[in-house]
Amino acid sequence: SVTGSEGNILAGNLSGTYEAAAYRITGDLTIADGDTAYIYAGTEFLFDGGVNFNINGTLKAIGTESDSIFFDNFGNERWRGFTLDNASDQTTFEYVRISGAEKNDGGGMNLDSSNPTLNNVTISNNTAGSVGGGMHLYSSNPNLTHVTISNNTANNSGGGMYLSNSNPNL
């Protein structure tokens, strides 16, 4: 369900399994409600500027201590980070690095009514035009274990994390 072409280029609806490789993301990615995508250790998703990764279903991004999963820019223009909107509680980020993203709220991750699990995740060098440079939580209660949020900026509040009606387990 993803538009792919020679050279591991992806855009569109994402589901199924993505083996360890470097993928260039040229258009918005969406995991639809009811769909699941598995991303394995050693994978790199490198985004063109202005590209979003929207999760309404389930993402299983499971890296290892010695082989993380990277989400970052392809070039110099910043991608638009993750948006989890009513994402499945089964969504898991493990041994993942999220960097180089920029959007208005939640530069690296914007959670709305979503409760993912994050283990051994680094969220760094992201920017928010308003709030939550690293993460913005709205009506969300994620579980964060061994999560590092560093070197993120926000123009208004919460350079690292901004919470509204949320109760994360840190």
Q: How far apart are the first and last CA of the chain?
A: 35
Measure Cα distances from 137 to 6, 35, 51, 115 in Å: 37, 23, 20, 10
CB-CB neighbours of 66 under 10 Å: 8
Per-residue pLDDT band for 1 (boundaries 50, 70, 90) equals very low
Alpha-carbon dihedral sign for residues 143, 79, 128, 131? negative
> Which amino acid appears at position 156 of this protein?
N
Q: What is the value of pTM for the model shown?
A: 0.95
Contact 92, 61 (CB under 8 A): yes
pLDDT in tens, 104-152: 999 999 999 999 999 999 999 999 999 999 999 999 999 999 999 999 9
Contact 112, 135 (CB under 8 A): no
Per-residue pLDDT at 6 = 53
Look up residue 57 and give its two tokens.
């279903």
